[in-house]
């Protein structure tokens, strides 16, 4: 294989439901076509595709990177008063680096639903991250992440404080994420992202937040997004992706970030740091006391017979 030059670290597959339209097997085939040694899945708020993707990717010689895009609540960095149902949420991307990290993300992802309050979006907070960060690589989420949202509100001091808190939690497993889809918010925050990265010695990483596989799928994804949000395709004041949110080739990404080659190189460095995936295992069954003198096989046979007799 030719030396890899870029790895996609932020992809929304069919398991993101209406928020993504990338078929796992087609993404794997495209990754092979592009000579990518690894590819991540970071579905929105779930890890439903982790096992299927791990098995399919590894079978084809692609290193599966398992992650998740979650909402982070951090009201303490904002001074605007909001009700419980209008919290300040921002996006954060977590990638499993180790087996422990994989299960920590599973735990975080499970708890956003188990501990969810009615009417409030499933989310995590800094306290959860402090308790469940081991073995996890964190990407800051670009202009839709906490740092980006604070910068867009003109809160540079708060943005720096939040970044340092994330650095305290993740250490050298924190990366400042840069995205270039042509959005104004991305342009407005990029210089500050770079300045903060150099000031605090935090590496930059380039991602493309892929929601569909090829550029010609944009219209279909746009319709899917409307279905998800209950909106009409003719509405202009709705959130939408751009035609650039597709699974770009390594050459396209290198050209896009030609002025910041380190952000491209760090996608490879992150892939090299990751050594976990989802594995198959026997079903986890409850433990129970067998009747004296009876083997498990005998007991199961007895239950089957009793079931037939009923």
Residue 120 is predicted with a pLDDT of: 85
Residue 309 is predicted with a pLDDT of: 63
**How crowded is the C-beta side of 263, counted as CA atoms within 13 Å?**
25
Residue 292 is predicted with a pLDDT of: 83
Residue 2 is predicted with a pLDDT of: 58
Which residues are registered as beta bridge partners of 43?
A: 68
CA–CA separation, 89 vs 78, rounded Å? Answer: 11
Burial, 17: exposed, middle or buried (Cβ in 10 Å; 0-12, 13-18, 19+)? middle
Which residues are registered as beta bridge partners of 11?
A: 210
Residue 81 is predicted with a pLDDT of: 55
Burial, 117: exposed, middle or buried (Cβ in 10 Å; 0-12, 13-18, 19+)? exposed
Residue 308 is predicted with a pLDDT of: 62
Which residues are registered as beta bridge partners of 136?
A: 96
CA–CA separation, 284 vs 16, rounded Å? Answer: 26
Please say whether the beta carbons of 96 and 124 come within 8 A.
no
- Three-class SS of the chain: CCCCCCCCCCECEHHHHHHCCECHHHHHHHHHHCCCCEEEEEEECCCCCHHHHHHHHHHCCCEEEEEEEEEEECHHHCCCCCCHHHCCEEEEEEEECCHHHHHHHHHHHHHHHHCCCCCCCCCEEHHHHHHCCCCEEEECCHHHCHHHHHHHCCCHHHHHHHHHHHHHHHHHHEEEEEECCCCHHHHHHHHHHHHHHHHCCCCEEEECCECECCHHHHHHHHHHHHHHHCCCCCCCCCCCCCCCCECCCHHHHHHHCCCCHHHHHHHHHHHHHCCCCCCCCCCCCCCCCCCCCCCHHHHHHHHHHHHHHC
Q: How do the pLDDT tens digits run along the chain, 310 residues long?
A: 457 899 999 999 999 887 888 999 999 999 999 999 999 999 999 999 999 999 999 999 999 999 999 999 988 888 765 554 456 899 999 999 999 999 999 999 999 998 887 778 899 999 999 999 999 999 999 999 999 999 999 999 999 999 999 999 999 999 999 999 999 999 999 999 999 999 999 999 999 999 999 998 888 887 777 777 778 887 777 777 899 999 999 999 999 999 999 999 999 999 999 999 999 888 777 777 888 888 878 887 887 777 666 5
């Amino acid at each position: 294989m030719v030396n890899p030059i870029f790895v996609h670290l932020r992809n929304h597959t069919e398991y993101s439901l209406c928020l993504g339209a990338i078929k796992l097997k087609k993404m794997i085939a495209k990754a092979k076509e592009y000579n990518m040694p690894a590819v991540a899945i970071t579905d929105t708020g779930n890890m439903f595709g982790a096992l299927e993707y791990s098995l399919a990717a590894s079978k084809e010689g692609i290193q599966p990177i398992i992650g998740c895009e979650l909402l982070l609540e951090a009201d303490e960095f904002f001074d605007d008063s909001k009700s419980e149902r209008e919290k300040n949420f921002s996006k954060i991307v977590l990638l499993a680096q180790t087996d422990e990290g994989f299960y920590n993300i599973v735990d975080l992802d499970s708890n956003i639903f188990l501990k969810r309050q009615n009417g409030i979006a499933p989310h995590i907070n800094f306290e959860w991250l402090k308790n469940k960060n081991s073995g996890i690589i964190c990407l800051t989420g670009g202009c839709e992440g906490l740092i980006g949202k604070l910068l867009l509100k003109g809160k540079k001091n708060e943005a720096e404080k939040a970044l340092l808190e994330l650095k305290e939690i993740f250490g050298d497993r924190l990366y400042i994420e840069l995205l270039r889809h042509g959005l104004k918010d991305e342009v407005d925050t990029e210089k500050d992202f770079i300045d903060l990265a150099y000031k605090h010695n935090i590496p930059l990483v380039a991602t493309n937040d892929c929601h569909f596989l090829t550029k010609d799928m944009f219209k279909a994804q746009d319709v899917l997004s409307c279905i998800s949000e209950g909106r009409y395709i003719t509405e202009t004041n709705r959130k939408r992706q751009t035609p650039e949110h597709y699974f770009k080739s390594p050459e396209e990404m290198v050209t896009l970030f030609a002025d910041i080659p380190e952000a491209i190189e760090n996608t490879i460095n992150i892939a090299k740091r990751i050594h976990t995936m989802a594995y198959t295992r026997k079903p986890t069954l409850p433990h129970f006391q067998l009747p004296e003198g009876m083997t498990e096989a005998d007991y199961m046979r007895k239950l089957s017979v009793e079931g037939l007799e009923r």
